[in-house]
């Protein structure tokens, strides 16, 4: 495993991190709690030090399972969690419908205290605004509260985790340009390159570390689904993908054969290696659900990166082919 400094912070993170939501919710397949604990512990043994969770993952369970798995290694790992949703509202939630957001200073402080309790720690390494809109990012009182929490030793750094359906480019650009955050979490993959590419120069200019999630684009960029579009159970977060989008994404794989002809790696690792080729991306957060993909994904930190010619070809392919193919779906409101 290789490690990078997270932006201008003094946090060093593994190039492959662990998105805890896969073991804390039933939104990415079903995993029993004891199996989730084992996966988290195995990830640490394989060199993973960045563990990204949120208070909203199963109403706090995403933080509790992290504490259960890694409490004895607390000083060796980076805990990243998120805030901004009122998980304490007792109104029943409908499916994956977005919760009510709250960014009032009193709530931010309360949410932080509750996360500290569930994580069984006295500090959070990276505290991230969860899907903030521009209005939240423009609130000086929110960031004054975060600075107070830093001064009190309750958090070390803060960042933002973005949409894309809920706040995206304007939010990211505003946060990086106007706030003193350490990181921004984005979506970036071979077949979903924008608007992430537009973030890169802004991140570099402001010394912001980027965390890139879902590099496999709903599992499309894996060997498992090379020839057949995936089918997801009801309730799985990936089930929101329009079937036409999935079919189109699988067809795109044919356009990527040149990449594997030039770099003798499986698609699972190439997808991660592609994201890590961008200097401003410090860590990639693939969705880990099995011991098998944990081993494959973590090993991707050590494999060769796509060469510059391949990267240029992938960018051209996205701009001139992939984007045009997806355009009708976007206009119909049916794409991701």
| Residue 320 to residue 97: CA distance in whole angstroms | 34
Active site residue 57: yes
| Residue 78 to residue 11: CA distance in whole angstroms | 8
Phi, psi of 65 (to 5 degrees): -70, -30
8 Å CB contact between 130 and 54: yes
Is the four-CA dihedral 117, 294, 166, 93 of positive or negative sign? negative
Burial 204-238 (b: 16+ CB within 10 A, else e): eebebbbbbbbbbbbbbbbeebeeebbebeeebbb
Task: Please report, for residues 98, 120, 283, the alpha-carbon distance to residue 86 in angstroms, rounded to integers and kept in the order given.
Answer: 10, 21, 28
| Residue 15 to residue 4: CA distance in whole angstroms | 7
Q: Which of 3, 57, 88, 188 is catalytic?
A: 57
Catalytic residues: 57
């Amino acid at each position: 495993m290789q490690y990078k400094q997270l932006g201008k912070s003094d946090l060093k993170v593994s190039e492959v991190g662990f998105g805890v939501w896969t073991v804390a919710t039933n939104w990415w397949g079903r995993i029993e709690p004891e199996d989730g604990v084992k996966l988290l512990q195995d990830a640490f043994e394989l060199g993973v030090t960045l563990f990204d969770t949120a208070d909203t993952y199963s109403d706090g369970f995403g933080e509790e399972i992290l504490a259960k798995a890694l409490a004895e290694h607390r000083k060796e790992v980076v805990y990243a969690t998120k805030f901004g949703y009122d998980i304490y509202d007792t109104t029943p939630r409908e499916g994956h419908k977005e919760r009510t957001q709250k960014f009032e200073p009193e709530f931010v402080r309360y949410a932080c205290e509750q996360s500290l309790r569930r994580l069984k720690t006295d500090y959070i390494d990276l505290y991230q605004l969860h899907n903030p809109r521009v209005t939240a990012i423009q609130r000086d009182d929110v960031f004054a509260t975060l600075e107070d929490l830093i001064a009190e030793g309750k958090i070390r750094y803060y960042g933002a985790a973005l949409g894309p359906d809920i706040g995206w480019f304007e939010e990211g650009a505003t946060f990086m340009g106007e706030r003193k955050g350490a990181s921004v979490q984005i979506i970036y993959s071979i077949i979903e390159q924008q608007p992430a590419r537009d973030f890169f120069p802004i991140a570099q200019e402001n010394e912001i570390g980027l965390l890139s999630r879902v590099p496999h684009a709903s599992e499309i960029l894996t060997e498992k689904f090379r020839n057949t579009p995936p089918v997801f159970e009801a309730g799985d977060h990936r089930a929101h993908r329009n079937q036409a989008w999935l079919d189109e994404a699988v067809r795109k794989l044919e356009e990527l054969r040149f990449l594997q002809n030039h770099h003798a790696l499986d698609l699972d690792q190439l997808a991660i290696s592609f994201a890590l080729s961008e200097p401003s991306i410090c860590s990639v957060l693939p969705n880990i659900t099995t011991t098998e993909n944990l081993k494959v994904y973590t090993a991707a930190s050590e494999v060769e990166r796509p060469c510059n010619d391949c990267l240029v070809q992938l960018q051209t392919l996205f701009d001139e082919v992939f984007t045009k193919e997806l355009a009708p779906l976007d206009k119909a409101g049916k794409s991701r």
